[in-house]
Amino acid sequence: MRGTTSTLAIIAMLGLPASVLGAAWTLPTGDVQAIVGYTYSEATEAFDDEGDRNQNADFFKNELSLLLEYGALDYLTLYAKTHLQDVDINGVQETGHAFSDVGLRVRMLNADDHVFSIQAQVSLPGDITGNNTQILGSGEMEAEVRALFGHSWSMSGIPAFFDLQGGYRYREGMAADQYLFDATFGWQPDHGVEVLLQSFNVWAVDDGEDPLMYPEFRQHKIQGSLVFHATEDLSLQVGGFYTWAGQNVVAEEGLIASAWYRF
């Protein structure tokens, strides 16, 4: 989150947590960030094989997550994240530990007002599988690598930034591997409030080993949220998301809330 003097000045004005800053920025050496997040989502419709939103669905999910990030070096951030879920799909309910992510982010370039990083992680399965759905996973190990680019600037005197991420996710088992692309745009209209607009996108590389269970799919979400700075170290985020397009996935929508603490 800190780099050259100009970048540090803009980010200091933003006051945004590193992960909200799109994750391209790394934590300073010795800094720790903890994020507790809650997600509520549901779907009564689904996208068919042609991408039309014309199928019925019965989907519900509550998720509680904990993310810990540690600045091992100025250019290296280590992180771990665990997920607890309560999922109901077509009347079949699962509750418990879904999966855990362990990874690192290495800053490769930090020049003026932009930064480029590489991120790699391994996802370890828990005791629920998400009923073998496309998005929630198949209960197998997954590995992911991402390239991340971030840029910060002043927009008519208002601090702003954007972040772009592209990645590939390997999935063990019968599910197909995935392509990933996420984008974040944020700005600070007020000293204590940030506005975030985000896009989350995932595509299956092809059909899974069992096309009936894992057909080719894609999902495209948009999310908007506000980040309020309660204190110098504590920030609170609230927002919502909507699946605007997809193929062979539920039309998921819901709410998010999280608390960010830096120490």
Residue 236: is its pLDDT beyond 60? yes
Q: Which two tokens stand for residue 220?
A: 């495209």
How many whole angstroms separate alpha carbon 97 and alpha carbon 253? Answer: 22
Name the residue range of residue 111's domain: 5-262
What are the φ and ψ backbone dihedral angles of 6, each rounded to 5 degrees?
-65, -45
pLDDT tens per residue, range 173-223: 888 899 999 999 999 988 889 999 999 999 999 876 666 677 889 999 999
pLDDT (tens digit per residue) in 37-59 = 999 999 999 999 999 999 999 99
pTM for the whole thing? 0.89
Does 22 score more than 70 pLDDT?
Answer: no
Give the number of other Cβ atoms within 10 Å of residue 16's Cβ: 24
pLDDT tens, 110-126?
Answer: 988 899 999 999 999 88
Domain harbouring 58, CATH code: 2.40.128.130
pLDDT bracket for residue 11 (50, 70, 90): very low
The number of folded domains in the chain is: 1
Question: Are residues 169 and 142 in contact, defined by beta-carbon separation less than 8 angstroms?
Answer: yes
